[in-house]
Amino acid sequence: MRSREGLVEVFSTFLQLDGDRFQTWITDPRLRRSMEQRLGQSKSDAAGLSENYWALYWHKTWQGQTAVESFQAIARGHLTAHIQESCYWVAQKTAATFVTSQTGLADCFQMAIAQIDKILKGFDSQQGFNFKSYASAALNSIIRETLRQKQEIDICTDWGLLRKISQKRLTEALQSAGLATSAIAPHLLAWDSFKLIYIPPQANGTRKLPKPEPETWEAIAQRYNQERLGQSIPTPATAATIEKWLLACAKAARTYLYPNLISINTPKPGQESGEFLDDLADQVQTDSLLSELIAEEEVQTRQTQRQQLQEVLIVALKNLDGEARSLIQFYYAEKLTQQEMASRLNMKQYTVSRRLTKARESLLLTLAQWSQQTLHISPSADLLKYTSSALEEWLETYFAQSPESAS
Amino acid sequence: MTSNLMNSNALCLEIEPMIQAQTWQQSHALATPNSQWTAYLNQLCWQTLLPWLQEDYLPTATVTPHVVSLPTFWELTTGTALRLNDRRIILIPTETIDLDEFRIPQEWVDIPTWAGDYYLSAQVNPDEGWVRVAGLATHRQVKTQGLYDMGDRTYTLSDTDLTPDFSSIWVAQQLAPTENLRSELSPIAALSPTQADNLLERLGNPTVLTPRLAVPFEQWAGLLNHGGWRQQLAERRWGVVGVRSPVQWLQSGLSTLAQSLGWQAVTLQPGMAGARGEGQESGVGWGQSLLIQDQPYELRLSCLDPAQNTWRFELQSLVPGGQIPTGFVLRLLTEDLQPFEGNEDRAMTPVDRLFLEVALESGEGLVWEVEPMPQGYDCEILRF
């Protein structure tokens, strides 16, 4: 893969794959202009900032309450461009380790990058330092989890699957299959009635659930017809119709694995690209975030903080007992699965899972205390989610640089 | 065993095969296939998570209000409350493969006696035999970030709103143990006994598949906010009547079900409390063991005079020679939790026993309570 050069390219180009192989970098003209404009307008030292500062800047912009929608989409686009390589490498590694002939590198790449919003929402620039490291860890989890779900979906019969899909996922799947909003409501009610009435007859046969018997279909239809009036659904349904709808639901659910990525290039109705860019220019002038970020003091402070955090966490890692340290090492440096860790340490997989949680916990406590004292972030239950992802980020970076130093 | 694709930092716990077989059997006591399945999933969930919490975090972690009360919740909706120190954690099992959303029944959020500090999404896979801690949210988050779905009366959080890491409960507990994790709730209007009776009559019929959606939430919440009515509703749906009726116990002895709720027959010493009635044969009564501030006590109930329908409630220590400490209160309330004259006995100094004697109308319901609250206390309506 040709590596990208310069800030403009890093924040405005996207990987083009040919099958599972790198083909070229494609420029998004709008993102390119946005980046050039920014570099041109801001003080000269903006160009000297590292990629990571720009990533933090775009993340702050994305997070900002005041950002207009189109501006937020631009920020999202820049960050998506920024993590292209990370996503590629994670996808490649996962594809090499787990994937069957049906799901290759390109699929892994696509399923991960499509969930960019998940990645953006998990990060907080108050607590995190390096967006790309955080994103690598998050992308890895996302690909694995998506593949796990796919594997589980493939095992299920249609009827088993219908009991095992969330309402949110099913709704999105039906939308993505092209159903009109008015058609989705009856499908959902039929599905809800199915779940209420068709209960697995065995303690552990939820995946291989057989097709319901005719009397069950009748009961489902009866439930549907009772409830539909309360929900203002005009369409009555017979058992046969319900069955047809549910099969359509199952099909949509199997096809839909992750949200379709909406390109920022898609112009909104009535919105000419000219206006769009004018919006941007206005934003640039009123934007103080960047000048805050590049203030010499701020850069200094963040570097010092990062250094301090490094020292604190290295001590915390050293203080873990041998087993806990091995688990952390296996996970972050060697990327082992729980099963692999279990066989290395000769313990059950579930024990690995518990011990690893415990090992991470003492590090999380250390990090939360440090954030409280140094960054003045209150250890509020809601904010610990970001502390936890900051820890992931740190461990990811640390073990990528010095995989042996913790052992 | 979980899939090899399970993320290595996911917290997965094994369901003991024995527990799975047992809970499957037990779940059949509930009224409908759907509530049976709900009970099954919830049992798998708490019986797997609680031993882990006790071992890795806090030996005193427990379900609340009490193990025997849990099926009365599952008959009506899904979810199990745990107590971890002063925090209430509501476990909500899910069997979905994807974890895109966390749906929490409104009861657990908006009914004051049900609400928790944390909500824990637990993915249960009965086929592979594991439970995975999928994420957490605080009550405040559910109320501020959650979307309310009128269709099934749930609050829905997106997976990105959840804290994925269970450790954060524990870390928060150490760094900010007193943080208020709850949003303020609107009070629930109390129902009159007649209103409650009408609802119990209507919703106690198990052919009403989703009683929680059959009446406006205000009424439903008014009914469920009262533990005694919650029990009655579930018991009616199971076709169980007269379980908590001392009049029936007097006539035909304690049923097995009443015994499973903690009551047992006790013999009262002649000349002692409960055997004062004229011509009454040696005292028969019923006792329930209570644990209050880690000390054992017994609540005793005996009939003074069946003809007059007069009854005596008595609280005493189970420690030989033990007394009731100053400040303890034994209190009786009407069915709809109203006080009445002479309804409490308070220990002003350490005493041997607290007691109350009441004359009741036939069919009248009473609720007993003790201050401080006994461990595992679940308000119950006794029918006289």
Cα separation, A351 vs A338, in Å, equals: 9
| pLDDT interval class at B279 (50, 70, 90) | very low
A354 has a chain B CB within 8 A of its CB: yes
Give chain A's domains with CATH numbers. Answer: 158-255 (no CATH), 295-407 (1.10.10.10)
Residues 111-130 of A with CB under 8 A from B: 117-118, 121-122
Q: Picking from A307-316, A380-389, B169-178, B264-273, which range would have the lowest pLDDT averaged per residue? A: B264-273
Q: Picking from A122-136, A177-191, A200-214, B337-351, which range would have the lowest pLDDT averaged per residue? A: A122-136
Write down the pLDDT at residue A380. 84
Distance from B107 to chain A by nearest Cα, in Å? 19
* pLDDT, tens only, A59-68: 988 887 665 6
The single residue listed with the structure tokens 């999380």 is A364
Asked if pLDDT for residue B171 goes beyond 60, the answer is yes
Distance from B119 to chain A by nearest Cα, in Å? 12
Distance from B314 to chain A by nearest Cα, in Å? 44
Closest to A206 (Cβ–Cβ): which among B5, B127, B159? B127
Q: Is B125 helix (H, G, I), strand (E, B) or coil?
A: strand
Asked if pLDDT for residue A47 goes beyond 80, the answer is no
Cα separation, B83 vs B54, in Å, equals: 11
Kindly state the average pLDDT of the residues A75-93: 93
| pLDDT interval class at A43 (50, 70, 90) | low
Q: Picking from A209-218, A230-239, A295-304, which range would have the lowest pLDDT averaged per residue? A: A295-304
A235 has a chain B CB within 8 A of its CB: no
Write down the pLDDT at residue B78. 98
Asked if pLDDT for residue B254 goes beyond 50, the answer is yes
| pLDDT interval class at B286 (50, 70, 90) | very high
**Nearest CA-CA partner of A317 in A308, A328, A306, A331:** A328
Distance from B75 to chain A by nearest Cα, in Å? 13
Tell me, what DSSP letter sits at residue B163?
B
Closest to B13 (Cβ–Cβ): which among A172, A331, A350? A350
List, in sequence order, every residue forming a beta bridge with B102; answer none if it has no partner. Answer: B157
Could B163 and A381 be called an inter-chain contact, meaning their C-beta atoms sit closer than 8 Å?
Answer: yes
List, in sequence order, every residue forming a beta bridge with B316; answer none if it has no partner. Answer: B298, B353
The single residue listed with the structure tokens 């934007």 is A287
Mutation site for B-interface testing, chosen from A361, A369, A375 by largest number of B Cβ within 10 Å: A361
Q: Please enumerate in sequence order all residues whose Cβ is within 8 A of that of B120, keeping only pairs 6 or more positions apart, or say none.
A: B49, B89, B90, B91, B92, B133, B135, B136, B166
A369 has a chain B CB within 8 A of its CB: yes
Is the peptide bond between B65 and the residue preceding it cis, with omega within 30 degrees of 0?
yes
Could A166 and B101 be called an inter-chain contact, meaning their C-beta atoms sit closer than 8 Å?
Answer: yes
Could B98 and A121 be called an inter-chain contact, meaning their C-beta atoms sit closer than 8 Å?
Answer: no
Closest to A364 (Cβ–Cβ): which among B13, B52, B171? B171
Compute CA distances B177 → A379, A380, B117, B180, whole Å: 10, 10, 12, 9
Write down the pLDDT at residue B277. 47
- Chain A residue whose CA is closest to B128: A204
* pLDDT, tens only, B122-142: 999 999 999 999 999 999 999
Distance from B153 to chain A by nearest Cα, in Å? 13
Cα–chain center distance at A142: 6
Could B96 and A153 be called an inter-chain contact, meaning their C-beta atoms sit closer than 8 Å?
Answer: no
Compute CA distances A268 → A55, A69, A272, whole Å: 26, 11, 8
Q: Please enumerate in sequence order all residues whose Cβ is within 8 A of that of B203, keeping only pairs 6 or more positions apart, or say none.
A: B211, B214, B215, B223, B233, B237
* pLDDT, tens only, A241-280: 999 999 999 999 998 877 665 444 444 444 444 444 445 5
The pTM for the full model equals: 0.91
